[in-house]
């Protein structure tokens, strides 16, 4: 299949271009598009066949449900059977934006879209191209991250082109993603709202809006050893992984620097091409084949934005083993470490 690449200006989306992409979606085709979190691989959420095509293009397991993207509040009731009061409150505070909410679904949502679950995940993105495209597509776009399954999510059009060219109808290049990590997912189908995936909105921010909020015990640090499974199917798979082995080194900052350097030196001795992922504060102190400075820990939004791109660059550089500092920052730390731990297959060394 030939994939058309279409550049659209985020600040002034060309209506004719949006209409062309919208028509592909209305007719059941696939279009990758920018959002403020990561790029999405979109299909018409109400067509079972379009969702099937999404799983096939990504190589995604078909029991891993898709998030349905809407652009207007009036499109929520037709797909969500019950929307509790506090979910409306959260929508008022965070939509459009990097927040996904889970509700019981109506029969309008095909089982293919919800991965066979009786619930549906819904998000209203703030990216102007995404919003315009959703409206042009008829109101509902199912979109997982626009990467091949298992690979780091895509935050730049070039990542999407690399992963999905030849597999989908169109890729819209609308510039780089602002946030760089996927949405926070909050489940509203239980008595108390539960965070199934951390993202731009962290526990403290959600608690301030909602009062009591829980974190899915399946995504906490020791869950795997305790045999507790995450509720979001997608959180159960190895994910975001670079081709290289990735090891996280945690501990007191000075010890982390020495430990990472010792590990990188030992790997280099064995003839391996080495990479280090560090913050601006320490990056200058490492010697390795490829040292990536992800930004200052005082600006952890920068670290979040560049994380997936850094993992992909290590692959392009042919790095075989990457040692990463832990980024346990207060604002984005939960989300960054959630992705990094999954990318590392939970391989952590304490310095």
- The contact pattern for Mg ion, residues 292-311, with x = CB under 5 A and - = no contact, is --------------------
Distance CA 297, CA 276 (A): 16
Answer for the pair 196, 159: CB distance below 8 angstroms, yes or no. no
Q: Are strands 40-44 and 31-33 parallel, antiparallel or unpaired?
A: antiparallel
Distance CA 202, CA 331 (A): 7
Site for ligand AMP in 284-323 (CB under 6 A): none
Q: Which is nearer to ligand AMP, 124 or 297 (CB)?
A: 124
Judged by DSSP in three states, 285 sits in helix
Is 67 near ligand AMP (CB under 6 A)?
Answer: yes
Distance CA 32, CA 133 (A): 10
Residue number, nearest CB to ligand AMP: 234
Q: Are strands 321-325 and 245-250 parallel, antiparallel or unpaired?
A: parallel
Residue number, nearest CB to Mg ion: 145
Nearest distance from C-beta of residue 130 to ligand AMP, angstroms: 13
Going by C-beta distance under 8 Å and a sequence separation of 6 or more, which residues neighbour residue 266? Answer: none
- The contact pattern for ligand AMP, residues 192-231, with x = CB under 6 A and - = no contact, is ----x----------------------------------x
By a kind-dependent CB cut-off of 5 to 8 A, residue 102 interacts, out of Mg ion, ligand AMP, none, with ligand AMP
Q: Which is nearer to ligand AMP, 17 or 307 (CB)?
A: 307
- The contact pattern for Mg ion, residues 114-153, with x = CB under 5 A and - = no contact, is -------------------------------x--------
Distance CA 319, CA 304 (A): 21
Is 182 near ligand AMP (CB under 6 A)?
Answer: yes
Distance CA 346, CA 351 (A): 16
Is 117 near ligand AMP (CB under 6 A)?
Answer: yes
Distance CA 336, CA 315 (A): 19
Is 119 near ligand AMP (CB under 6 A)?
Answer: yes
Answer for the pair 202, 182: CB distance below 8 angstroms, yes or no. no
Residues of the shown chain interacting with ligand AMP in the complex, contacts defined by CB under 6 A: 64-65, 67, 102, 114, 117, 119-121, 144-145, 182, 185, 196, 231-235
Residues of the shown chain interacting with Mg ion in the complex, contacts defined by CB under 5 A: 145
């Amino acid at each position: 299949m030939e994939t058309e690449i279409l550049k659209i200006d985020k600040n002034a989306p060309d209506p004719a271009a949006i209409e062309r992409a919208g028509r592909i979606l209305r007719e059941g085709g696939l279009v990758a598009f920018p959002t403020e979190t990561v790029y999405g691989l979109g299909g018409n959420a109400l067509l079972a066949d379009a969702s099937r095509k999404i799983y096939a293009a990504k190589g995604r397991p078909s029991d891993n449900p898709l998030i349905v993207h809407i652009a207007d509040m009036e499109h929520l009731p037709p797909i969500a059977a019950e929307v509790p009061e506090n979910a409306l409150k959260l929508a008022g505070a965070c939509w459009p934006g990097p927040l996904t909410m889970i509700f019981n679904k109506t029969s309008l949502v095909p089982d293919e879209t919800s991965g066979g679950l009786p619930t549906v995940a819904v998000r209203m993105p703030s990216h102007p191209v995404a919003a315009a495209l959703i409206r042009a597509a008829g109101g509902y776009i199912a979109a997982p991250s626009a990467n091949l399954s298992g690979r780091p999510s895509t935050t730049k059009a070039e990542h999407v082109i690399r992963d999905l060219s030849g597999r989908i109808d169109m890729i819209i290049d609308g510039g780089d993603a602002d946030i760089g990590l996927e949405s926070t997912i909050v489940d509203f189908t239980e008595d108390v709202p539960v965070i199934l995936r951390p993202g731009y909105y962290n526990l403290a921010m959600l608690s301030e809006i909602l009062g009591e909020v829980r974190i899915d015990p399946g995504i906490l640090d020791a869950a795997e050893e305790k045999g507790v499974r995450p509720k979001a199917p997608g959180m159960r798979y190895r994910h975001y992984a670079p081709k290289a082995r990735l090891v996280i080194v945690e501990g007191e900052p000075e010890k982390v620097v020495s430990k990472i350097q010792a590990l990188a030196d030992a790997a280099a001795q064995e003839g391996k091409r080495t990479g280090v992922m560090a913050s601006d504060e320490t990056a200058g102190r490492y010697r390795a084949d490829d040292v990536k400075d992800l930004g200052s820990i005082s600006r952890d939004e920068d670290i979040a934005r560049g994380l997936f791109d850094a993992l992909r660059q290590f692959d392009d550089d042919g790095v075989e083993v990457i040692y990463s500092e832990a980024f346990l920052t207060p604002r984005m730390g939960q989300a960054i470490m959630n992705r990094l731990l999954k990318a590392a297959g939970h391989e952590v060394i304490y310095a």
